[in-house]
């Protein structure tokens, strides 16, 4: 072939390549134009929160844990809510209220723009049904709040009257989810406390709807787009369960989750040093306690030595609360004392001469005087009738801090001759032991535990636990006293705070002296959350207490964080593309690939011929 022929062939190949690539460009541009004319891909914002204790039940008449109450308030409105900053009463499902001069009849105006998530309007009849259903069926989980209510009557769709046998001090501070009558009226009172599961999707009227629970994995809630206060700013919230809190902390660092509840004390400082994360040691309405089985009943499977007040007091003198705070909780707590937390105006603090300080010598003396001797000389005491004394002592697997405290307590009680068999178990197993039955007979099967209580803004719930009405209900230590029960009735009927305070103080002092608990500490709520990608986090309460604010992630009194948190500048979210756009992209990419392959083959063929020739 002549030089001119080779030159002509090369020009032809270059022209063909140009045409091929031009065609590819046209295809890409056409695809871009088609894509731009199609609807934008849907963006779903998902907030992922890690926790170490999942709900034990989504049924409000069965579940007892703080996680349960947080989920219920996200799914159901209360009659009266709590201000995020001050925790004072604020309108929620009720827009306003008034009370009769004698304090025994409350009238609530119910908002007219609320609907259940199945589209049925929320009315005053749902409110009346909820209160009557609880009381008529004696549903202990919530009757601690509705105690004293005689009946509720819906006057109209937007007005309900609630009657009480006496003035009711906590009427505006009840943690009672209002339930849909058209769902729960089909559930018998017996089923409500036993077989009814309240399975997702759960019909509610709150800012979110619980739509999925994969036990042992996660709970998923979706935004209620028709919520009367406006749709939440995220599309869904996923509470992810971690059996290892250290793994939860690592996932927060990696961005797998956006917040973490109950961060281990050992990880807390590290998380606070991470860019884009906030770590709060928030005020928490909690205390950690040693609970002792005080059930004075022949069917109890607890060790009878715990019925002895002197023995329980000796346990209180034997534990070093300061060390629990400094070692087990890394300093993220204050030393515990009485039933009501120090952030409450109703907190009672024992005087120096009343306080159970760390004094093993005093504990030993009390035990000696009470007749608990070390007859065998093995370092451990026997019962008064000479039997071996050994107590089962449980801690839950969700709290490394409580497990550490438990190990310390075993050592301290050994120092005063009390043998503990320490075991870590999940919360469900401990609940099963507390609510153990022999057939239909209540037979609590435990001796001691270390656990915690989360309490309400009003002291009524916490105080009412230790009354006969709450045996087989909330009364976990099973201690009661007729004088205490009488005082509880008085304080619950005293609306005036000034007159109520000394009664509440007297009840706390009585409980403290009886020592069914050894209250160890008031722990801070250790939590961490992403501030680089998210904004709108809300502290509850917002008022600083001792330089600290309340929790952002874990407060069932107020759920504003979950309503108001949102991604910064679209930094968070997953995109779901429609099938049409996905197909178009595939076609365009395939066309470009075909053109590229053709071009390569042509060039290779051209080079081969040129070299041969």
The better pLDDT of the pair 570, 236 is held by 236
Domain boundary among 169, 197, 225: 197
519 and 550 assigned to the same domain? no
**What is d(CA 405, CA 570) in angstroms, rounded to the nearest whole number?**
43
Q: List the alpha helices (DSSP H) in 255-375.
A: 265-272, 309-318, 321-323, 360-370
- Provide mean pLDDT across the span 68-73: 96
Q: What pLDDT shows up at residue 593?
A: 37
Residue 74 token pair: 């996200």
For every residue of 123-160, DSSP letters joined together read -HHHHHHHHHHHHHTT-HHHHHHHTTEEEEEEEETTEE
Q: What pLDDT shows up at residue 13?
A: 42
Q: What is the 3-state secondary structure (H, E, C) of 521-538?
A: EEECEEEEEECCCEECCC
Quick check: helix, strand or coil at residue 304? Answer: helix
Q: How confident is the model at residue 545 (pLDDT cuts 50, 70, 90)?
A: low
Taking each helix axis from N to C terminus, what angle separates 265-272 and 400-415, rounded to the nearest 10 degrees? 140
228 and 133 assigned to the same domain? no
CATH number of the domain to which 96 belongs: 3.90.76.10
Structural domain boundaries enclosing 54: 42-75+206-281+527-575
484 and 517 assigned to the same domain? yes
300 and 446 assigned to the same domain? yes
Q: What pLDDT shows up at residue 547?
A: 67
Q: What pLDDT shows up at residue 574?
A: 41
27 and 162 assigned to the same domain? no
> Does 187 score more than 80 pLDDT?
yes
Q: What pLDDT shows up at residue 548?
A: 77
327 and 442 assigned to the same domain? yes
Domain boundary among 197, 216, 251: 197
448 and 398 assigned to the same domain? yes
Q: How confident is the model at residue 401 (pLDDT cuts 50, 70, 90)?
A: very high
pTM more than 0.75: yes
**What is d(CA 178, CA 122) in angstroms, rounded to the nearest whole number?**
10
344 and 441 assigned to the same domain? yes
> Does 535 score more than 50 pLDDT?
yes
Q: What pLDDT shows up at residue 182?
A: 98
Domain boundary among 197, 222, 250: 197
Q: What pLDDT shows up at residue 412?
A: 98
Q: What pLDDT shows up at residue 544?
A: 65
Residue 348 token pair: 């009672």
Q: What pLDDT shows up at residue 35?
A: 43
432 and 343 assigned to the same domain? yes
> Does 74 score more than 50 pLDDT?
yes
The better pLDDT of the pair 584, 518 is held by 518
Backbone dihedral angles phi then psi of residue 530, each to the nearest 5 degrees: -85, 115
Using CA atoms, how far residue 77 sits from 149, 289, 596, in Å, is 20, 31, 61
179 and 319 assigned to the same domain? no
Cα dihedral across residues 557, 558, 559, 561: positive or negative: negative
> Does 26 score more than 80 pLDDT?
no
H or E element: which one contains 400?
A: helix 400-415
292 and 276 assigned to the same domain? no
- Provide mean pLDDT across the span 366-381: 95
Of 34-48, 163-177, 486-500, the range with the lowest mean pLDDT is: 34-48
CB 334 within 8 A of CB 322: no
Which region holds residue 515: left if phi is over 0, alpha if psi is between -120 and 50, else beta? Answer: left
**What is d(CA 492, CA 460) in angstroms, rounded to the nearest whole number?**
6
Quick check: helix, strand or coil at residue 441? Answer: strand
Q: What pLDDT shows up at residue 29?
A: 39
The better pLDDT of the pair 498, 27 is held by 498
> Does 33 score more than 90 pLDDT?
no
Instruction: For residue 438, count CB atoms less than 10 angstroms from its CB and return exposed for 0-12, middle for 13-18, buried for 19 or more.
Output: exposed
pLDDT in tens, 336-350: 999 999 989 999 999
CATH number of the domain to which 473 belongs: 3.10.105.10
Q: What is the 3-state secondary structure (H, E, C) of 210-265?
A: EEEEECCCEEEEEECCCCCCCCCCCCEEEEEECCCHHHHHHHHHHCCCCEEECCCH
> Does 400 score more than 50 pLDDT?
yes
pLDDT in tens, 272-316: 999 999 999 998 889 999 999 999 999 999 999 999 999 999 999
- Provide mean pLDDT across the span 15-42: 43
End-to-end CA distance of the chain: 7
Q: What pLDDT shows up at residue 570?
A: 60
519 and 396 assigned to the same domain? yes
Q: In total, how many domains does the chain have?
A: 4
pLDDT in tens, 113-145: 999 999 999 999 999 999 999 999 999 889 889
> Does 433 score more than 80 pLDDT?
yes
Q: What pLDDT shows up at residue 542?
A: 87
Beta strands in 429-551 (DSSP E): 437-438, 441-442, 448-454, 517-523, 525-530, 534-535
H or E element: which one contains 105?
A: strand 105-110
CATH number of the domain to which 533 belongs: 3.40.190.10
> Does 435 score more than 90 pLDDT?
yes
For every residue of 51-89, DSSP letters joined together read ES---S-SSTTT--SHHHHHHHHHHS-BSEEE-TTT--E
């Amino acid at each position: 072939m002549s030089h001119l022929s080779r030159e002509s062939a090369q020009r032809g190949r270059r022209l063909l390549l140009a045409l091929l690539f031009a065609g590819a460009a046209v295809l890409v541009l056409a695809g871009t134009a088609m894509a731009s004319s199609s609807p934008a891909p849907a963006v779903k914002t998902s907030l992922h929160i890690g926790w170490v204790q999942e709900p034990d039940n989504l049924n409000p008449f069965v579940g007892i844990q703080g996680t349960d109450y947080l989920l219920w308030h996200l799914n159901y409105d209360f009659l009266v809510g709590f201000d995020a900053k001050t925790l004072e009463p604020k309108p929620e499902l009720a827009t306003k209220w008034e009370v009769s001069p004698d304090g025994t009849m409350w009238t609530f105006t119910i908002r007219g723009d609320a609907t259940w998530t199945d589209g049925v309007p929320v009315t005053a009849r749902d409110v009346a049904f909820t209160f009557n259903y609880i009381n008529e069926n004696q549903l202990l989980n919530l009757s601690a709040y509705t105690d004293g209510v005689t009946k509720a009557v819906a006057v109209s769709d937007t007005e309900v009257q609630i009657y009480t046998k006496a003035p009711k001090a906590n009427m505006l501070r009840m943690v009672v989810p209002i339930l849909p009558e058209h769902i729960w009226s089909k559930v018998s009172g017996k089923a409500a406390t036993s077989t009814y599961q309240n399975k997702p999707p759960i019909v509610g009227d709150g800012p979110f709807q619980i739509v999925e629970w994969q036990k042992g994995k996660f709970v998923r809630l979706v935004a209620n787009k028709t919520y009367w206060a406006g749709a939440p700013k995220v599309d869904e919230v996923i509470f992810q369960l971690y059996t290892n809190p250290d793994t939860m902390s690592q996932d927060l660092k990696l961005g797998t989750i956006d917040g973490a509840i109950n961060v281990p004390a050992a990880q807390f400082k590290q998380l606070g040093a991470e860019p884009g994360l906030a770590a709060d040691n928030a005020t928490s309405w909690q205390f950690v306690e040693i609970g002792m089985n005080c059930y004075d009943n022949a069917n109890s499977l607890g060790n009878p030595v715990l019925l002895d007040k002197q023995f329980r007091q000796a346990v209180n003198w034997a534990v070093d609360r300061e060390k629990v705070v400094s070692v087990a909780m890394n300093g993220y707590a204050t030393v515990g004392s009485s039933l009501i937390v120090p952030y409450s105006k109703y907190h009672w603090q024992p005087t120096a001469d009343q306080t159970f300080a760390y004094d093993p010598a005093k504990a030993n003396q009390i035990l000696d005087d009470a007749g608990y001797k070390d007859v065998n000389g093995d370092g451990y005491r026997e019962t008064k009738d000479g039997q071996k004394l050994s107590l089962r002592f449980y801690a839950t697997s969700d709290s490394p801090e409580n497990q550490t405290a438990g190990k310390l307590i075993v050592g301290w009680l050994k120092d005063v001759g009390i043998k503990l068999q320490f075991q870590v178990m999940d919360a469900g197993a401990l609940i099963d032991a507390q609510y153990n039955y022999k057939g239909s007979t209540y037979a609590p099967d435990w001796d001691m535990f270390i656990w915690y209580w989360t309490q309400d803004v009003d002291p009524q719930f916490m105080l009412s636990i230790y009354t006969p009405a709450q045996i087989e209900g909330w009364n976990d230590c099973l201690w009661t006293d007729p004088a205490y029960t009488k005082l509880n009735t008085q304080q619950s009927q005293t609306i005036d705070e000034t007159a109520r305070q000394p009664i509440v103080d007297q009840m706390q002092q009585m409980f403290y002296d009886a020592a069914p608990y050894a209250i160890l500490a008031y722990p801070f709520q250790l939590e961490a959350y992403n501030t680089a990608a998210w904004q709108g986090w809300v502290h509850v309460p917002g008022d600083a207490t001792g330089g600290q604010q309340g929790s952002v992630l874990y407060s069932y009194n107020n759920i504003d964080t979950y309503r108001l948190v949102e991604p910064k500048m679209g930094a968070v979210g997953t995109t779901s593309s429609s099938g049409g756009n996905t197909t178009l992209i595939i076609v365009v990419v395939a066309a470009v690939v075909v053109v590229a392959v053709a071009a390569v083959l042509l060039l290779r063929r051209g080079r081969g011929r040129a070299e041969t020739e």
